[in-house]
């Protein structure tokens, strides 16, 4: 776990690099899945105080459409949450399905499936990249489709970190279309076990 | 962090592990999933406190008092005492404790939170006047110091007033 302020800065920079590499792979997978339309970039790996999480991530109190995947492995795991407002989620589903944006208040099974598959592809790309980068096996869960308050979902994903400390580590990832940032996001929350394994692998890596 | 105010601030957002306390016209708001929004209220004096409880027991772990059920309630009583609202006559309302990823999903903590809050309230003899707990939906909770009402909104569900 992070200790002194100096260690903290170094470790966050190392994790930024590591997740940057994993995001590069995830972006390539996303680009293939969306026919070159959508990519993802790592905005920031950051530490946020427990009570400030929703404010820091600008997650308001409105209902959102989300796909959640959990990762599990011997050394820990984490959660990946794709977050959209309803219209943006439907636009992504429509573009993947090659259809007009749905107008029925209820999402069709096909729309849900398109969004869950997006989560699956993104999640598996992160799993594969992290497995390769740090040499640990991670298994992804099936994706869950959830329409609920973003803060409610995020807080459950944060439980394992909250159990051991008040500063939470999060990776904030942005979607881009033709280079422009979209109002969609992915939040990756590693468990303390995975966080420690990642930090150990950083310290074990040869220094330049 | 705990806040006690009697200002004209209309609405205070109570983040994870925080406690807010005050009187009218204050409203305290929290969005909870597996966490619990717990309000203690003195109906005659119209003084209330709300905690956003994250985990059931502190077990000696560091953290803000509002983070754990067993430390949040003593801190809330302390804050209400500072507002001249003593423990006798206080009632409790609570909402949250959901299993956001389904009842068979990972990271289950909602039920333990509900039980721990109920146990801690019993230990100090505070009656539960209303609750909306469990299930698989998140809740947007607003507690009004003027009326003592706890308004609970869930996505796609009718609003409840406790």
Query: What pLDDT, in 10s, does the model give residues B107-148?
Result: 678 999 999 999 999 999 999 999 999 998 999 999 999 999
DSSP secondary structure letters along A144-191:
EEEEEEHHHHHHHHTHHHHTT-SEEEEEEEEEEETTEEEEEEEEEEE-
CB-CB under 8 Å, A141 with B62: no
**Residues of B in Cβ contact (< 8 Å) with A144:** 101-102, 105
A149: β partners? A63
**Residues of A in Cβ contact (< 8 Å) with B59:** none
- ipTM over 0.90 threshold: no
Q: What is the pLDDT of residue A112?
A: 92
CB-CB under 8 Å, A149 with B33: yes
Does the pTM surpass 0.90? The reply is no
Pick from B64, B11, B77, B155: nearest CA to A65: B155
Please report where in the chains the tokens 């969609």 appear, as a residue: A184
Question: pLDDT of B22-66, one tens digit each?
Answer: 999 999 999 999 999 999 999 999 999 999 999 999 988 777 899
**Which pairs with CB-CB distance under 8 Å and at least 24 residues apart come from A55-60?**
A55/B13, A55/B15, A57/A154, A57/A170, A57/A172, A57/A187, A59/A83, A59/A150, A59/A151, A59/A154, A60/A150
- Of A122-126, B17-21, B86-90, B137-141, the range with the lowest mean pLDDT is A122-126
Check B19, B30, B32, B35 and give the catalytic one: B35
CA B121 to each of CA A155, B37, B42, B43, B62: distance values in angstroms, whole numbers, following the listed order: 23, 14, 15, 17, 22
Give dist(CA B136, CA B103) in Å, integer.
7
Within 13 A of A60's CA, how many CA atoms are on the CB side? 5
Q: What are phi and psi of A101, to 5 degrees?
A: -65, 130
Residue A207: Cβ within 10 Å count:
4
Q: What is the pLDDT of residue A208?
A: 46
Angle at A191 (CA atoms; ends A185, A194), nearest 5 degrees: 105
Active site residue B35: yes
Q: Which residue on chain B is closest to A159 by alpha carbon?
A: B107
CA A158 to each of CA A18, A48, A190, B79: distance values in angstroms, whole numbers, following the listed order: 21, 11, 9, 27
CB-CB under 8 Å, B61 with A148: no
Cis bond upstream, residue B25 (ω within 30) = yes
């Amino acid at each position: 776990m992070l200790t002194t302020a100096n260690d903290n800065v170094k470790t966050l920079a190392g994790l930024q690099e590591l997740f940057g590499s994993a995001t590069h792979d995830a972006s390539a997978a996303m680009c293939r899945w969306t026919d070159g339309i959508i990519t993802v970039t790592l905005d920031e790996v950051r530490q946020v105080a427990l009570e400030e999480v929703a404010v820091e991530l600008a997650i308001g109190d409105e209902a959102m459409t989300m796909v959640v995947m959990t990762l599990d492995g011997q050394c820990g795991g984490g959660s990946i949450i794709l977050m959209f407002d309803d219209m943006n989620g439907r636009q992504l589903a429509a573009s993947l399905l090659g259809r007009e944006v749905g107008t029925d208040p209820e999402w069709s099974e096909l729309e849900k499936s398109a969004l869950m598959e997006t989560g699956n592809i993104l999640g598996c790309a992160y799993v594969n990249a992290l497995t390769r980068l740090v040499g640990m096996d991670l298994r992804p869960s099936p994706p869950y489709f959830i329409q609920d308050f973003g803060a409610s979902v995020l807080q459950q994903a944060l439980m394992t970190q909250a159990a051991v400390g008040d500063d939470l580590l999060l990776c904030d990832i942005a979607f881009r279309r033709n280079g422009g940032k979209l109002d969609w996001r992915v939040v990756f929350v590693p468990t303390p076990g995975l966080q420690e394994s990642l930090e150990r692998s950083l310290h074990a890596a040869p220094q330049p | 962090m705990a806040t006690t105010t009697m200002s004209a601030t209309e609405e205070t957002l109570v983040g994870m592990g925080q406690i807010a306390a005050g009187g009218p016209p204050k409203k305290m708001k929290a969005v909870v999933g597996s966490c619990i929004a717990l309000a203690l209220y003195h109906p005659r004096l119209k003084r209330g406190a709300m905690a956003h409880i994250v985990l059931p027991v502190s077990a000696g772990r560091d953290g803000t008092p509002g983070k754990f059920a067993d430390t949040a309630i003593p801190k809330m009583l302390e804050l209400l005492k500072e507002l001249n609202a003593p423990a006798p006559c206080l009632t409790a309302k609570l909402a949250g404790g959901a299993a956001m990823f389904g009842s068979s999903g990972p990271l289950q903590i909602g039920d333990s939170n509900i039980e721990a809050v109920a146990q801690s309230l019993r230990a100090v003899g505070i009656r539960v006047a209303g609750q909306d707990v469990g299930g698989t939906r998140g809740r947007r909770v607003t507690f009004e110091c003027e009326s003592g009402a706890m308004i609970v909104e869930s996505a796609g569900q009718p609003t409840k007033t406790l």
